[in-house]
Amino acid sequence: MLILNNVSRTFISKGNTINALDKVNFEVKDKEFICILGPSGCGKTTLLRIIAGLDKPTAGEVMLDDIRVDKPGQDRGMVFQDYSLFPWRTVIDNIAFGLEVLGVDKKERYENAREYLKLLDLEKFENSFPYELSGGMRQRIAIVRALINNPKLLLMDEPFGALDAQTRNIMQAELLRIWEKKHKTILFVTHSVDEAVYLADRIVVMSARPGTIKEIFNIDLPHPRIRTSQEANIIRDRVLKSLGTEMEHAMK
Ligand SMILES: Nc1ncnc2c1ncn2[C@@H]1O[C@H](COP(=O)(O)OP(=O)(O)OP(=O)(O)O)[C@@H](O)[C@H]1O
Ligand SMILES: [Mg+2]
């Protein structure tokens, strides 16, 4: 279980104080799929970075299975907002990077990486370089790279933001497949209400900066979900309304 306990983060930049997060309290159960929505600049990336152990809260704490998070660890994998593959490494070496850091030998690294490549139907591309792949393929590789150390918790920051609508829908379905098969807990930041309603067990709407949790929506619909169903439409309307007032605050 992941527990956010009064997590606050203040940045001091060029003499200005920016309150990015203010007392965020939230609990995530194992194997939950959580989507986080909120206006630009409300601290979503900051929150994921703190959970990943890449940044520290100014106040409050993050607990993962009763252990206080203060550095990155194998129990968490992160897919960044701008999917950052190493351009000089082949697909398989990108994927195997996390195992290489751990000192796993090459044969085992590759065996492991190939299993994931197969899962995503990308075996043919193991020796390709990122520039030889489409955006959707690169994004799949970035996800696999985060999965390779078998983290319990997958932190995803707008992972599909740069994809066309068609590819994005396919990626969403693939992610659900991985989530169900590998039993991950997922925290997924998105700007798309539609995407959140399709994926999440719960949607967290954050307020405009300083980011805090404004409202949580439970989505009790089975997968695969029908995007245009009446139930989905009702939830989408409620989430949009909640988000809409925050967008207005963010613009002021
Ligand atoms: N390293 C930093 N130094 C100073 N300010 C920062 C730093 N990182 C983030 N901030 C500020 O904290 C606030 C929250 O930033 P963050 O990137 O978490 O927002 P976000 O919700 O992810 O936005 P977006 O939806 O645009 O990605 C912003 O005002 C940003 O300028
Ligand atoms: Mg962000």
CB atoms within 10 A of CB 175: 22
End-to-end CA distance of the chain: 37
The residue among 90, 66, 84, 223 whose CA lies nearest residue 146 is 84
Average pLDDT rounded to a whole number, residues 87-99: 94
Is 0.75 topped by the overall pTM?
A: yes
Who surrounds ion ligand 2 at CB < 5 A? 45
pLDDT at 75: 95
Q: How far, in Å, is the centroid of ligand 2 from the Cα of 225?
A: 27
* Residues lining ligand 1, Cβ inside 6 A: 11, 13, 18, 20, 38, 40-46, 209
Angle, to 10 degrees, between the axis of helix 135-147 and the axis of helix 106-119?
A: 130
Grade residue 49 by pLDDT with cuts at 50, 70 and 90.
very high
Sketch out the chain's domains with CATH numbers.
2-86+152-251 (3.40.50.300)
